A and B are shown apart, each in its own frame.
Chain A
Amino acid sequence: MHRRSSLLVPLAGAVLVAACEPMTAPVRPTPYDFRLAKSDSVFHWPESAVPVRFYAEPIGRVPEDVTEGLRQWQRQFLYGELSWTLVSDSCDADVVVRMASPEPPDAEPTDDPFRFVCEGLTILPARVTDEDGRTRFSARIELYLNWFPGSDPTDVANCFRVITAHEIGHTLGIFGHSQRPEDLMYPQPAVRLPSSRDRSTIQTLYHLPTDILPWIPPASAAP
């Protein structure tokens, strides 16, 4: 009996030794500039505004590209900082994504080399000061996509996938650009997925206090 009970002592010791091992926090790449030019303001969707509601115009692969872009950006977080949802009515949206040109040719994206046959533009609304003295966007954020007629359909699909993900980075608050072509937020992006520097940038952004609050739709505005 004594032999058996003496086994408890070394096993308890093993528990305590295991309990002393430290965890090593990661070293993250230096973020690139994400602040709003000139004002140096920071914007991200605050906890009170998530899930962020996106409307993706049902043209071509816009809904699929928006969904994939949002998923890729969300996956750069670890601690539940961002959530989003797609809404079917643009009036209910915080961000509206539209095709500015005619419906693009029907094609599935591939892993072929990227060709610049499309473009995107994120329009930030004017900023206003609300009754409480806080700076706030005066309308929803809009994102427009455009493709160049005569382009190969597969090239267009590949381009939209990348450009949509890049522009979604802007809608989430990255208002600057990276200076490195391996980042998705490079001005002429050629990579499909956020890099470790993109990750570090959006993580940093979402742990800073936001200087600008999102627009409040009239229906949900406080009386």
Chain B
Amino acid sequence: MTRALTAIVLLAGVAATAHAQVFAEVQAGAAWGSPLVEDSIVNAITVAPQIAPAIGVVVGTRLGERYGIAGRVRWARSNLQRQELGESVTVLPLGVWTGSIVLERSMWRSVSAELQFGAIKYDPAGNADGTVFQDDAPLVATLGLGVRADRPVSERLTVGVHVGYDVHQFDTQSLRSAGFTSGRVTHRISVSVALRWRHPHASP
């Protein structure tokens, strides 16, 4: 998984360098995720990550006036929580890596929209026995959309706000062994502040 994420970043980096219209970006914000599992054992049970602090790194290149392509790696970490009868119990700390290719298009002034596709890797911390991650931590495909608004700080530097949405299907071997017959569609929304630096030779 780490190799796949590294490959995405390197590919984007190589592409960016080849065109010499590169940009690099760091993001910091928060990510919310919908429940990974809903079950019923005596009571209704919901298992979902808490709102997580998230950081990201983006390397990309402009493709003409309005388009751009980038590779992005994001990491978020919070506790996975079990909700039952109004009470919340921590199951285990959970990291989530996301590697994606991002296609960007300028829409209006400093606002741009983006389409992203890539993969998510769940990374539970500690002993995962007795949890949905006890047999595996899935690597799953994800598809998403985003919108961002940037404001120039200097000739090469912009600061912006990024709002992203993505969807993937969560499924583990443990859930299958327990009798679940399909994965659960899981939604994530992230909000972050982004600091983008453009290469001196990049197009404006």
- Chain A interface (Cβ < 8 Å from any Cβ of B): 1, 4-5, 7-8, 11-12, 14-15, 18-28, 47, 71, 74-83, 199, 203-204, 207-208
Contact = CB atoms under 8 A, between A and B. Distances in A.
A124 B114 CA distance: 62
B34 to A, nearest CB: 9
B182 A23 contact: yes
The A contact surface, by secondary structure, is loop
Given A14-B143, A19-B185, A20-B185, A8 B115 contact: yes
B182 A24 contact: yes
A191 B140 CA distance: 36
Contacts of A20: 185
B92 interface: yes
A12 B184 CA distance: 19
10 contacts: A15-B145, A19-B187, A21-B182, A23-B180, A25-B38, A25-B39, A81-B130, A82-B130, A199-B178, A204-B41
Interface of B: 37-43, 45, 47, 66-67, 80, 82, 84, 89-92, 105, 113, 115, 127, 129-132, 134, 143-145, 167, 169, 174-175, 178-185, 187
Contacts of B90: 80
B41 A71 contact: no
Given A15-B167, A18-B185, A78 B175 contact: yes
A76 B82 CA distance: 16
Given A4-B67, A15-B145, A75 B134 contact: yes
Contacts of B180: 23-26
B179 A74 contact: no
B179 A27 contact: yes
Contact of A78 (B66, B67, B178, B187): B178
Given A15-B144, A15-B145, A71 B179 contact: no
A167 B37 CA distance: 31
A57 B180 CA distance: 39
B130 A47 contact: no
A24 B180 CA distance: 6
A204 B89 CA distance: 17
Contacts of B169: 18, 21
Nearest to B40: A25
Nearest to A72: B129
Given A11-B143, A12-B145, 9 more contacts: A1-B66, A8-B115, A15-B144, A21-B185, A75-B129, A78-B130, A80-B130, A80-B131, A82-B130
B130 A77 contact: yes
A76 B182 CA distance: 19
A202 B84 CA distance: 17
B167 A18 contact: yes
Contact of A24 (B43, B80, B89, B181): B181
A203 B181 CA distance: 19
A208 B178 contact: no
A78 B181 contact: no
B129 A74 contact: yes
Contacts of B182: 21-24
A26 B181 CA distance: 7
B165 to A, nearest CB: 8
Given A18-B167, A26-B180, A83-B130, A208 B174 contact: no
A209 B103 CA distance: 51
Identify which of A4, A19, A28, A208 gathers the most chain B CB atoms within 10 Å of its CB.
A19
A208 B40 CA distance: 12
Contacts of B145: 8, 12, 15
Contacts of A203: 41
